[in-house]
Structure formats: structure tokens, C-alpha cells
Structure 1
Amino acid sequence: MIVTLGLLGALQTVLIGGFAGYYLSESLYDEIGQRAMKVAQTVAATPAVINGVRNRDIPALNRLAGRLAETNDALFIVIGDHQAIRLAHPDPARIGFSMGDDDGDYGRKALVEGNAYVARAEGSLGESMRGKAPIVVPGTGEIIGIVSVGYSLEQVEATIRRYNFVLYGVVGLMLLVSVIAAIVIAGRFKRAIFGLEPEEIARLFQERDATLQSVREGIIAVNRDGVITTVNRAAYETLDLPSDQPVTGRPISEILPENGLISALTSGEPDFDQEIWLRGRQMIVNRLPVRRGDTIIGVVASFRLRDELDQVSRQLTRIQQYADTLRSQTHEYSNKLHTIAGLIQIGANQEALALIGSEVSDHQTLLHLLLEAVPDPVIAGCLLGKYNRAREMGLSLEIDPDSQMRDLPEMLPREQLVGVVGNLIDNALEATRLHTGAGGRVQLSMTDLGEELIFEVQDQGPGIPEKERQRIFKKGVSTKEGEARGYGLHLVRQFLRHWGGSVTVENVPEGGSRFTLYLPKAPKKGGQL
């Protein structure tokens, strides 16, 4: 870059300097020629010169020509008659001879055409710029002679050399400034690109693009004006953006009005693992401002579907619960099988049959209720799992036999609904176990009558103080001790805000608390707590 900018500056400087020098030289030559012609015209119009030529008063003409040449700083003033025979000349030996002997120009334009003109010629007094004018008798217009005024080109060239010295000095200074500017610009440019060479920048760009496209999380970057500068393939897929319509160069507000990147530009604070809704999907979003010094020049956001994390989490939780359930049921049924075997051995067959019937009866009742009231397999499976979970904890989950949940809207995401209801039941089971121990119960009732879906979960816990009823829905806030707490009710609030539902919390007189969840069958914006 230094070499390129230096050569470019040198080329421009040399071209400009050469043109300026040439133009200056031609201008001086033209100016001297015009001056010589004007002096020649003035001398030719002088009455003393006209009378001297008519009378061929050679001494008077020579005195007059010498005085005028000295006055006008001319090299010479030569006066000739109508045949270009010298009547006045600085060298007396050339008087009486033809002016053509000097420069081969007899002054035909002046003597024949009557025009003044400029000529450059090598004469007896050296190379000069000459102006020639005809001597015309006033009134008659008769051409009776010619005046030639010359200025030495040595004087002109001396003047040009003086001007060129200054000009070339300026050109040299400009060339030096160009080189220094090239070094400064190249240095600042290299610092701006962290000392990398163009080939390294190209390779890093290719690596960055390959990295962005290989990341499974969606990534979008915007500049300080909120215009999208980078977007990877995963972002197109996650946000269901049309792949044939590029979004780079467009404002982020047109693509994702609810993105929150503009607020990150303003605040300059990073956000990590924020749960927001983008294009109708719940996302886990990270936002990180990009800074240059103390100035924010953009924001990079990465996001992924919350369902993916939930799916992994649910799978791990289900595996753990499944293992724990199998372990407890194995232990429980092992004891019951031993009891049944003992009853048969002692001949108490009726008691053995009664024990078997009671064991099967509870499950049959629950299965019959779920098949009739909750035809959706996802919700029914969740409730059956929570029933088994309650038995494992030594508790009972009682589902109101008058419950029904048949009119579920198609657009309602079942996985999220199961997550919300499951969180409320889990919290109720945990609160009941900690407060009453084994033998406690949790009650659940459901109805889809009217324009809302209503789920009511009641526990036998210690209750929730009124001042805590809003706070428990904040992320990380929990009434239970231990890490990784305070997320279940927060997820409930996030879902309600998106779907336009609401939840109420109240303590019941017999002890415990009741959570009532209201979900509109048609989604609304802005749920309430």
C-alpha cells in the first residue's frame, strides 16, 4: 500500500508539475511575443518614425530606435522601408541591407497584408521573440515600412528557470508529502485491521463464514444503525425466513420487530439466556454489544428454540423419572407379590383376590377417566405420569371426576401446555410432601366450558403469603431451598404472556394454596398475573 500510494502520488505530482511547467513556459513565450508586437505597433504609429521613414532620415531613426529599445527593455528595434531595407539597427554595419538576411523573414505579412504578427527566429543578436508591425501613413493607408521589435529568449528562459525552480520545489515537497501520507495511511489502515495482510483477511473471512454456517444456533448481527450485516443459515431455518430473499442490508425492525437488539445498542449491556418470543416461537436469546473502544458499533445476537432445550431436558428428566418409577414400583410390587404369595400359601384366597382387585381398581378408574375426559394423548400421558409420580412420593393426585378437556384449540402447542400444567402439579406435590409428609394429596380439576380452558391445582402445603404471590413468578425466585430453582413458574408466566392467559393464586381455608390457570381458546396478547 505504501508503494502503491507513493507511486500514485508521485505520478500525479509529476504530471501536474510537468503540465504546470509547460503551461508556464508557453504562457511566458506568448506574453513576451504579445508584448513585442504591441511595442512594434506603438513604434510604427509614432509620427517621428513615420516622418523619418518617409524622409529616410537614418540618423534620426537610429537615435529614436535606440531610445525606444532602452525604454521598453527590448533587445533591439529595427526599422525598415517598404522593401524591408534596414533604416535603423543596433549594428550600424547592417543598415542598408535587407531584413531577410537576419532571419529569412522579409515581413511579407506586415508589408503586403498590413497585419502585425509574432515570430520566433535566430538573428544576428541571438534567438529572440519578435513582434512585427507595418508602418502605415495616416489617412492614405499606404504601407511605407516595417518595425521589428525583439526580446531575447535568454531573458525569457532565465525567467522560466526562476519560476521552474519554485515550481519544482513545490512538486518535490508535494511528492514528499504524498510519501509521508502513504506511510501514515497505510499504518493507520494496518492498525485498523489488526496488522493483517489482505490474504490473511480473506482467509479469516472464509473461516468466519464457514464457522457461522456450521453453528446450529441462529446468529444475526446489526450495525449501529440497526441494519442487518450478518445472518447465518440456521437463523433462516429457525425463524422461517424465506431463503430466496436476502435480509442483509435491511433494518432489523422489518424482519424481527420484537428482537430487542435496538435496546442493547442503546444500553450497551449484554443479555444472556433471555427467553423471548420471535415470530411466534419461544427462543433462548443472547445479545452481545460489539465495541470499538468505548463506542458501540453493533450487536450480535444468537438464539435457539427453547423447545430444543426443553426436549433434551424433558428426555433426561423422563429417563430419570422412569428409572426412579421402575425402581419404586419394582420394590412396591415385590412387596405386594410377596404378600399375595403368603396369602395363597396360608389358604387366604379371598383376601389375595381382594388385594389384587384394589390394586387394579385405582389404575382402571384413572384410565377410564382420562379416556373419557381427556382424549388428547399428550395431556393424558402427562397426567398419568404425574399420578405415578405422586404415588412414588407417598402422595395422591386426585383428579376431579367431573373434569373434561376435550375442546383444545389446534394452534395451542401441546408441549408447552403440558409444561405449564406439569410445573403447577410438580410444585403442588413438592409443597405437600414437605408440609404434610406421606399421605398428603393434591387435587386437580379441569374444564373447557366457555371461551377459556381452566386448570385448578390445589395443594396441602403451607400456603403462599400475599406479598410473595407476584414475586414467585420471577426468574430464579423460589420458596424452596437448593440450586436450579425458581424456573417453573417463570416459564408459566412467559407462556401466559405470549398466549394472553392469566393465573390466580390464593390460600384455601383448610390449608394449602390454589393455582387457577385461565387460557383463552383464541390467543390474545398480554397475559396477566
Structure 2
Amino acid sequence: MPRIRLRISTRLMIVLCLLVLVQSVVLGGFALRHLGDSLEEQIAQRAVQLASMVAQTPSIRSAVAANDADATSRIVSELRDATDASFISIGNIEGIRLAHPLPDRIGKPMVGGDNYAVLQEGRTIISSATGSMGPSIRGKAPVFNDIGEVVGVVSVGYLTNQIDNTVLTYQRLVIIVTLALLALSVMIASWIGRRFRAAIFDLEPHEIAALFEERNATLESVREGIIAINNKGLITTFNRAAVDTLDLGTEQLTGRHIREVLPDSRMPALLESGEPEFDKEMLVDGRYLVINRIPIRVKGRITGVVASFRVRDELTMVSRRLTRIRQYAESLRSQAHEYANKLHTIAGLIQLDKSDEALELIGQETRDHQAMLRWLVDSVDDPVVSGCLLGKFNRAHELGLHLEIDPDSHLGPLPVDISTERMVTLIGNLLDNAFDATLSAGNRRIALSMTDIGQDIIIEVEDQGPGIEDDDFARVFERGFSRKAEGRGIGLHLVKEIVSDLGGEVVVENLAAQGARFTLYLPKETH
């Protein structure tokens, strides 16, 4: 039989109802028991006080001393109407009734067996016994004559069924209050259940436990280090990759302040600013880390910050491979397309019996590419950047453009702060922008020069496009801004972002003749 799993709100309601019910039963039982005992004690004291008062009444003393049953009954009848006692019975020294609520009992012996201490010792007592009126609580007092001798006994009693009726009344009240509290607890439990489920995103405890286990497994499965803090800066979450990457040892990190573990962390600053940071590079213990920091918001309020990070070398290696493959693919595609055209031309010349012209074309192609390859080998140290330039050179030929590279250009080993991928992005996007601008104006020439002499790397690209309008100078590097087509305007924005991140400068100006010049100044050392 499948196990029935109750919802958390239902279980909460049942627990609260049972708690209220148990409390009501225990407290109600204790209260009723205490009430019964208290009523018995109060009634007993009232009975003995009333008995003593009646026994000291002069008329009663005289009538009992004279053993006058008629006079005693008459006086007691008047007294009984003025009290709430169940009965008042008076007997003489021998225990024979002189007054009783039932006239036929007068003249008969008193029953209960509790008159000895009163008649023989002259003491006032309280007793519980079953008499002729039934079970009762009695107060008994001796009657003295004028010379101080005991001449009779006064017995004032309250039937126990009166006490039972009073307790029953309170029992009904307790039951009513218990049922009211039970109904109230159902409503409160229902409200608490709804609020509780809303607070835990309408999840059941077993679902939360499963998510917790899944979250732990996910944290440990990713290769990026992950650390999260709460709004007080205390570490709440971390994974093994974070410990290994930052070499945090084997100490427990949960509950420790982030400043204590990582003094230079910017995570506490995000608690105040609330601005996320993406792909920020930082030098930590001699290694460059690429870090993302994102504030955690709950109902619009910042409750913490989570940071993920990875050693830049790993990202650089992957990015370098992807960039190299992309550049090689572009170079091969351009070369294949261009050489296909050349081969078709050579084949046509041969068919026209123009062998000399065919040989001249072959020699020219060989000389151009050999010259380009020799310049790349001599002037550019980074092979990925060389591949990018060769690919753009072939792409220009494919588009019918002429890419002129200043023969005096030189680009040695890149500084530590300027990665190969960033340099390829800068050169590639500037040349692509120049190709588009030159083609749109119907021209052919693009010029490139590079130098790393001095404190800066300077890259300059000139095109023969329509130039930049005066109103566009302030917007040319905005993301998505383009005069060409939808979906463009990304390349120059990336160029501006990279140059700014490296602490450099990009200058754009229109040429006197036609076109525009973009000049990058990249410092070799960042401060």
C-alpha cells in the first residue's frame, strides 16, 4: 500500500490541534480537580462556621438544654430559610434528633457515627458521611448550657451532589472553551501553513531536502570556485573548487567573515552597491582569476552575494584554442575561395594558350604570399596574432580589397596583462570595421600599422570609407550603434571595453582625404 504523504500545512494543522487539545485536557482536568477540592474545603468551612453560629444562638441553647423538640424545630426552620445549607439537624446529648428537615426523622437517633468528638469532647469537627439525606459534608458544633456543659450537637450539611453540579457546570465551560480554542487553532494553523509554504516557495520538506542535496552535488561538480556570503558578510556556501583554487586549507569556512578568509575580497562592497560584476580579472596569490560577482536579492532586498571564479590560465588556454581554430578556419576558407578563383583564371589562360600570362600570375601570387609570410615571421612574435593577420589579409583579397601593412610594423611578445585573445579581438574588429566602411564607399585600400616601441603598444587602422559624422563621434563605441544594419555595432563596443579595461585609450578621427583612422594606445604595464 503506498504511503500517504501529508502536506506540510496539513501536518502543521494536526500538530497544533493536538497540542491545543492535550493542553486543554491536562489543564482542564487539573483545574476541575483543584476546583472540586477547593469547593469541598470552602463548603466544609462554611458548614462548620454556620454550625458554630447556630450552636451559640441563645434560643437554640435554651431549647436544646430543655430538650424541647418543637421549639428547636421552629427556630431551625427559620434559620434554614436564611442560609444555603442543605440541612440543619440538631440532636440532644444522647444523639436523638430535636430538629431535622424531615419531620418524621425527629426523635430518632442521628446517623453517621461522627458525633462522639462533639458530644464527649466538646470539639467542633468537619466530616464527610452518608446520613439520612444522603452523602454530605458536615460541620458539627457542640451546644453548651449556661454552666458550660455539652447538652447537644448542631449538624449543618451540604449534599455532595451540589458540589458535583457546580463542577459539572465548570466542565461544560471548559469543554466549550476547548472546542473554541481547537477551532481557533485550526484557523491559525491554516494561516501559518500558508505563510510558511509561501516563505519556502510552496515546497514540501522532502522537496527542500532533495533540492539541498542537488545543490550540494551541483556545487561540487562544477570546476569553478563558488563562494556565497549573507548580508552580514559571513560565508554561507562554498565548494571544493573554491578551497583548492584559493588554497584555503582544511579549516571550516561556514560562518566565518569573508574578510577573515579573503581580506581583499570585493564581495562586501556589492552588499552596498548592488551592482553585479562580470569577468573581472584579479591577481590573487600570484595567479590571475576571472571573477563574477552577483548580489542575491529576495523581494528586492539584497540578502547576500555569490561569487564564481576560475584561474585565467585555464580560460586562456581554452580561449586560445578556440581563437586559433577560428582564425585558421577563416584563413583556410579565404585562401580556398581565393585560390579557387586563381585556379579558374590560370585554367582559362592555359586554355587560351596564354602560358606566359599564366606563369606570371602564378609567380605574382607566390611572391605576395611569401612576402606576407616572411613579414609575419620577422615582425610578429605571437603565432595566433600572425594567424589573425594572415586570415584578414586573405579575407581582404577575397572581398576585392587591398590590405596594406606598414613594413616597419613590429609586435613583439605581448605583455602579461594583454592576452592573445584580447589582441586578436582588437585587431580583428578594427579591420572588419574598416573592410565594411571601405566597401560601403566603393574603395579598396585599408592600412594597418603596429609598433611596440616605448611604453605603449600603438595600433593604427585607416579605411577609405565615408568617415564619421560629427554627431556620431560620441556614439561610435556604443553597443548596438551602427549606420549599416540591424544587429551590428558590437565590434567597436568590444574594442572600447577591452581598451578601457587595459587602461588604454582609443582615438578616432576623420582623414583629410576620405575615410577614418582608429588609433589604439595600450600601456605595456597597468598601474
| Matched positions, count | 495
Counterpart pick for 1:500 among 500, 503, 513: 503
SS in 2 for 1:472: coil
Aligned partner of 1:442 in structure 2 is 447
What CA deviation, in whole Å up to 9, does each residue of 1:432-468 have, x standing for no partner? 3443534x13122333523x44333222222111221
Which residue is equivalent to 2:464?
A: 460
Q: How big is each residue's C-alpha offset from its partner over 1:268-293, in whole Å with a ceiling of 9 and x where there is no partner?
A: xxxxxxx93456577899999988xx
1:103 to 108, 112, 127: 112
Is 2:133 the partner of 1:131? no
Mapping of residues 21-170 of structure 1, within 5 Å: 21-49=32-60, 60-79=71-90, 85=95, 88-90=98-100, 102-106=111-115, 108=117, 112=121, 114=123, 116-133=124-141, 147-170=154-177
Where 2:114 maps in the other structure, the secondary structure is coil
Say if 2:331 and 2:390, in contact at 8 Å, map to a contact too: no
Q: Are the structure 2 counterparts of residues 259 and 75 from structure 1 closer, same or farther at C-alpha, using a change threshold of 3 Å? A: closer
Please tell me whether the aligned partners of residues 223 and 297 of structure 1 are also in contact (alpha carbons under 8 angstroms).
no
Q: Partners of 1:355 and 1:181 in 2: how far apart?
A: 88
1:142 deviates by 8.6
Moved more, 122-131 or 182-191: 182-191
Given that residues 230 and 303 in structure 2 are in contact (C-alpha distance below 8 angstroms), is that contact kept between their aligned partners in structure 1? yes
Give the alignment's Cα RMSD to 1 decimal.
5.8
Counterpart-to-counterpart distance in 2, 1:163 and 1:351: 119
Match for 1:468: what amino acid? Answer: D
CA contact (8 A) 1:111 1:134 kept: no
1:220 touches 1:300 (CA, 8 Å); kept in 2?
A: no
Residues 56 and 461 from structure 1, CA distance in 2 versus in 1: closer, same or farther, beyond 3 angstroms? same
**1:91-490 paired onto structure 2 within 5 Å:** 102-106=111-115, 108=117, 112=121, 114=123, 116-133=124-141, 147-175=154-182, 201=207, 205=211, 209=215, 245=253, 255=267, 257-258=269-270, 262=274, 276-278=278-280, 280=282, 314=323, 317-318=326-327, 320-328=329-337, 330-331=339-340, 360-370=370-380, 375-393=381-399, 394-399=401-406, 401=408, 403=410, 405=412, 408-438=414-444, 440-450=445-455, 452-481=456-485, 484-490=487-493
- The Cα offsets for residues 67-94 of structure 1, whole Å up to 9 and x where unpaired, read as 323211212234467x784574316777
The answer for the alignment partner of 2:4 in structure 1 is none
Structure 2 segments unaligned to the other structure (5+ residues): 1-9, 259-264, 283-288
1: CA distance, partners of 2:477 / 2:405: 25
Cα deviation for residue 504 of structure 1 reads 1.8
Per-residue displacement from partner, 1:396-439 (whole Å, max 9, x unpaired)?
23136164555x5423333223312321232223323443534x
Distance 1:414 1:25 in 2: 94
**In structure 1, what is the equivalent of residue 261 of structure 2?**
none
Answer whether contact 1:261 1:287 (CA < 8 A) is retained: no
TM-score, with structure 1 as normaliser:
0.69
In the aligned structure 1, how far is the partner of 2:367 from the partner of 2:493? 42
1:239 Cα deviation after fit: 9.8
Change in 2 beyond 3 A, CA 1:75/1:286: closer
Q: Distance in 2 between matches of 1:336 and 1:191?
A: 75
CA distance 1:69–1:523, change in 2 (3 Å) = farther
CA distance in structure 1 between the aligned counterparts of 2:503 and 2:181, rounded to whole angstroms: 71
Percentage of pairs with the same residue = 30
Where do 5+ consecutive residues of structure 1 fail to align? 265-274, 525-529
Q: Secondary structure at the match of 2:165?
A: helix
Q: CA deviation at 1:507?
A: 1.1
Mapped to 2, the partners of 1:161 and 1:56 lie a distance apart of: 42
- 1:232-265 per-position Cα deviation (integer Å, ceiling 9, x unaligned): 9699699979796459999xx974755999579x
1:472 touches 1:479 (CA, 8 Å); kept in 2? no
The 8 Å contact of residues 279 and 291 in structure 2, kept in 1 or not, is answered as yes
Cα distance in 1 between the residues matched to 2:211 and 2:325? 39
Change (3 A) 1:396 1:402: closer
Q: Which moved more, 1:213-222 or 1:171-180?
A: 213-222
Q: Is the 8 A contact 1:21 1:164 kept in 2?
A: yes
Quote the offset at 1:7 in angstroms.
4.8
Q: Tell me, what secondary structure is at the counterpart of 1:449?
A: coil
CA distance in 1, matches of 2:53, 2:441: 128
Change (3 A) 1:468 1:226: farther
Give the drift of 1:321. Answer: 0.6
Distance 1:463 1:496, change over 3 A: same
Distance change >3 Å, CA 367–CA 38, structure 1 → 2:
same
Q: Deviations over 1:372-414 (max 9, x none)?
A: xxx44444444444444444443123136164555x5423333
Q: Distance in 2 between matches of 1:241 and 1:386?
A: 43
Contact 1:390 1:396 (8 Å CA) reproduced: yes
For 1:470, what is the secondary structure of its paired residue?
coil
Matched to 1:155, the amino acid is: Q
Partner of 1:270 in structure 2? none
Q: Structure 2 CA distance, aligned partners of 1:480 and 1:67?
A: 121
Amino acid at match of 1:477: F
Give the direction of change, closer, same or farther, for the CA distance of 1:332–1:163 in structure 2 (3 Å limit).
Answer: closer
Query: Counterpart of 1:268?
Result: none
Q: TM-score, normalised by structure 2?
A: 0.69
